[in-house]
Structure 1
Amino acid sequence: MNAPATSPSVKGWCPGAHRPMLSGDGLVVRVRPFRAELSADQARGLCDLAERFGNGTLDLTSRANLQIRGVAEADHPALLAELEALGLIDQDPAVEGHRNILLDPNWATGDLTDRLYDALLSALPSLPDMPEKMGFALDTCRGGYLRDGSADFRFEISDDGGLILRADGCDAGRPVTEAAAIDALKDMAEWFVSTGGRDAGRMARHLKTVSLPAEWQTTPPRSAATDVSPGAAPNGTVLGAAFGKIDTTALRDLLNDTGAEQMRLMLGRMFWLRGGRAPAPSQHFVFEGGDPILKAHACPGAPFCPQATVETRSLATWLAAQTDHVLHVSGCSKGCALPRACAVTLVGRDGAFDLVKNGAPWDIPSQTGLAPDTISLKDL
């Protein structure tokens, strides 16, 4: 049997603003914009900070957050102060570390999703202490858009239009009213902790060994919505960023040239420029949904991450044009760029790659020790 990839150092938490993570090029500081939205001025300000304190790029993460990389430890307090001045972080580090909230980007001020966001934000300090990797999805607009997003507690819409709370890993959820939604969430969170969920780390993993109460599994969510792709959108344009990497100079120019008013962050490493003019084509962003790079996922890899022994993104770019499958090139078996199963996953180990088909980076590979220059279409 083939051996799995060497186990990397798993932190059990994600880098935040108050609690950054040390990588090969300095600190990684994650910014979770409230409601996954930045005003044009906030976006320009974040570009300025990435250039002043980081490496001049922003990373758009799989959870629709932004990261500044390459921050010196001595500069971290000054960066925090600037982020707070922009209104992009919580003053309470404990709240900021648990504010992993996905929203359907179609939310509107005062709608159900917006109201649930406010209620959830207020409730975060009173929830049981859970692993910081855990998160929440407010998939309550048209429904089904966030199905592939990383979340453990999911507010969704049923086929009859009702609100449900579903535990990730279950096919069905629990009908709730808006007024009782947060109390139901607290019940589920307390159940998770009391049944040993902290040891599992995530809801779906916990439910592989422990059964959720049957009355919390009665109503399935609405079918998944059609995927959003780059192109014209209501009141703006959706653009993609290859591997989530955004050049700050290009983003600043984009905001200035279009006159966009807001920037909403989306799953799939895309963002929605709202208001203003349609952007002119640019090599820095993905403008068409058929671009194969959108199906390719890759972390920064070596030398930027100490866990990685392989370079990732040039290989992912080359292979993306050769396959119609979702492709993941991971520097190690943590799989940060896509922490779930997909059609083809290449996992770096000791300077070579292991191949996992229809699995996650930590699964047993079908082939091991593939040299980067020998991997081809036949392996996919």
Structure 2
Amino acid sequence: MSGFVVKGWCPDAWRPMATGDGLLVRIKPRLARLARDQVLALCALADRFGNGIIDVSRRANFQIRGVDQAGWRALVAELMALELVDADAQMERRRNVLMVPDWTDGDDSHRIACDLAAKLDRLPELPGKVGFVIDAGTAPAMLDEAGDFRIERGAGGGLILRAAGHETGVAASAGDEAPMLVALAHWFDMSGGTRSGRMERHAAPLPDWATGAIPPAPPQAPITPGPVRLGMALGAPFGQVEAAVLAQALADPAATGLRVTPWRMLVIEGARQGGIPGLIDDPADPVLRVHACPGAPFCAQASVATRDLARRLAPAIAGSLHVSGCAKGCACTHATAFTLTGRDGRFDLAREARAGSAAERTDLEPCTVLAHFGVA
């Protein structure tokens, strides 16, 4: 299916991406956390240099939208001052680490992430989309999240190193986890993995030291809106929040910081109250079952508007829904019960499919889509 361009790289602060509403500048929170003052400053910068819209990405990153070329370097300077961007562009590119958000100081996830952060300068040059996953809680939380080189809780209770595309991994002793991740990245590079682009597409057999038969432990339940151990979890509809709304969520003096997740959930540390207009505090909200990219005109690759349609459809559909502006499917890479893919200004509808899959109905106008699902 035509209609989109695979760029083959991911934006960051030093290499922003042009979109339909300006430059998109990505911020990669260290340890999946921002202190309260950092959040408030980030919100102010999104208003000052962007259009006041902040994305929460599937890699647990923030993205400031609507930045113009003239203001981009000044924005990056402000982000560096906040310690949200590395002054070394190469090191910033290497910080592709997805970390389980409910870590505590000194636990396995925190320890390994800090160890890996200190070893980023030892990594080879990797394709831009290649990344690491640190999921070392009492049970895995991110088995469904993309990541090439992974440390996870294994079925026997210990930690395992696992390469994407392999169902099992090898035991990782305390203190060896980050060195093993670095070594696996070097093996990937030296064995031609760069040509494959991602670990799961790399056909070379793993080295003996990275080969094991230990499966990940059964996963834990995902975070949903409401009180959690660290504070209050709030959903960002379709992974997007206005800067003013996010600042309001941190206005509670008890709020000490924010944890960002790959599930469109924000955990406000110390908070105990929801009720923030623009964020979701009801775990039954149907919007939580719907994936939708920014769509047109906010993305130059999209030929259709997405989120207004997704919001109208959400209460009418049982199960998951993905409304994608193009066949690239950025908002959701897995199959959903219903998938609408934009093509040449209209939609194709598929069931139990990913964006761009073979459709059962094609060339649908938005009004036809609404009528199909019984939405007046």
Find the aligned partners of 1:258 and 1:247 in 2 and give their Cα distance. 20
> Is this contact kept in 2: 1:262–1:273, CA < 8 A?
yes
Q: Which string of whole-angstrom CA distances, capped at 9 and with x for unpartnered residues, describes residues 83-103 of structure 1?
A: 011111111111211212111
Check 1:171–1:251 CA distance in 2 against 1; reply closer, same or farther (3 A cut).
same
* 2:182 paired with 1:189: no
1:232 aligned residue: 227
**Please, which runs of 5 or more residues in structure 2 have no aligned partner?**
none
Shift of 1:180: 2.2
* 2:30 paired with 1:41: no
Q: Please, which of 282, 286, 298 is the counterpart of residue 280 of structure 2? A: 286
Find the aligned partners of 1:357 and 1:191 in 2 and give their Cα distance. 39
Find the aligned partners of 1:265 and 1:141 in 2 and give their Cα distance. 16
Counterpart mapping for 1:1-380 below 5 A: 5-206=1-202, 209-213=203-207, 216-257=211-252, 259-276=254-271, 278-376=272-370
Aligned-partner SS, 1:243: helix
What is the one-letter code of the residue matched to 1:351?
G
Aligned-partner SS, 2:152: strand
Shift of 1:210: 4.2
Find the aligned partners of 2:248 and 2:299 in 1 and give their Cα distance. 29
> Is this contact kept in 2: 1:157–1:222, CA < 8 A?
yes
Find the aligned partners of 2:288 and 2:185 in 1 and give their Cα distance. 34
Check 1:341–1:125 CA distance in 2 against 1; reply closer, same or farther (3 A cut).
farther
Shift of 1:119: 1.5
Find the aligned partners of 1:76 and 1:302 in 2 and give their Cα distance. 23
Aligned-partner SS, 1:297: strand
> Is this contact kept in 1: 2:226–2:274, CA < 8 A?
no
Shift of 1:377: 7.7
> Is this contact kept in 2: 1:15–1:28, CA < 8 A?
yes
Find the aligned partners of 1:342 and 1:322 in 2 and give their Cα distance. 15
Aligned-partner SS, 2:316: coil
Find the aligned partners of 1:183 and 1:99 in 2 and give their Cα distance. 16
Which piece of structure 1 moves more, 22-31 or 245-254? 245-254
> Is this contact kept in 1: 2:322–2:340, CA < 8 A?
yes
Find the aligned partners of 2:102 and 2:276 in 1 and give their Cα distance. 25
Shift of 1:376: 4.3
Find the aligned partners of 1:314 and 1:130 in 2 and give their Cα distance. 37
Find the aligned partners of 1:184 and 1:40 in 2 and give their Cα distance. 34
Shift of 1:213: 4.8
> Is this contact kept in 2: 1:268–1:294, CA < 8 A?
no
What is the one-letter code of the residue matched to 2:276?
S
Which piece of structure 1 moves more, 368-377 or 267-276? 368-377
Check 1:185–1:68 CA distance in 2 against 1; reply closer, same or farther (3 A cut).
same
Aligned-residue sequence identity (percent) comes to 43
Check 1:181–1:269 CA distance in 2 against 1; reply closer, same or farther (3 A cut).
same
What is the one-letter code of the residue matched to 1:361?
A
Q: TM-score, normalised by structure 1?
A: 0.93
> Is this contact kept in 1: 2:248–2:276, CA < 8 A?
no
Find the aligned partners of 2:197 and 2:357 in 1 and give their Cα distance. 17
Find the aligned partners of 2:199 and 2:340 in 1 and give their Cα distance. 26
Shift of 1:304: 0.9
Q: Which string of whole-angstrom CA distances, capped at 9 and with x for unpartnered residues, describes residues 278-300 of structure 1?
A: 23513311001111101111111
Shift of 1:317: 0.9
> Is this contact kept in 2: 1:299–1:336, CA < 8 A?
yes
What is the one-letter code of the residue matched to 1:327?
L
In angstroms, what is the RMSD of aligned CA positions?
A: 1.9
Find the aligned partners of 2:362 and 2:91 in 1 and give their Cα distance. 41
What is the one-letter code of the residue matched to 2:40?
R
Find the aligned partners of 1:289 and 1:327 in 2 and give their Cα distance. 17
Check 1:321–1:79 CA distance in 2 against 1; reply closer, same or farther (3 A cut).
same
Find the aligned partners of 2:316 and 2:244 in 1 and give their Cα distance. 31
**Please, which runs of 5 or more residues in structure 1 have no aligned partner?**
none
Shift of 1:7: 4.8
Find the aligned partners of 1:339 and 1:193 in 2 and give their Cα distance. 25
Aligned-partner SS, 1:347: strand
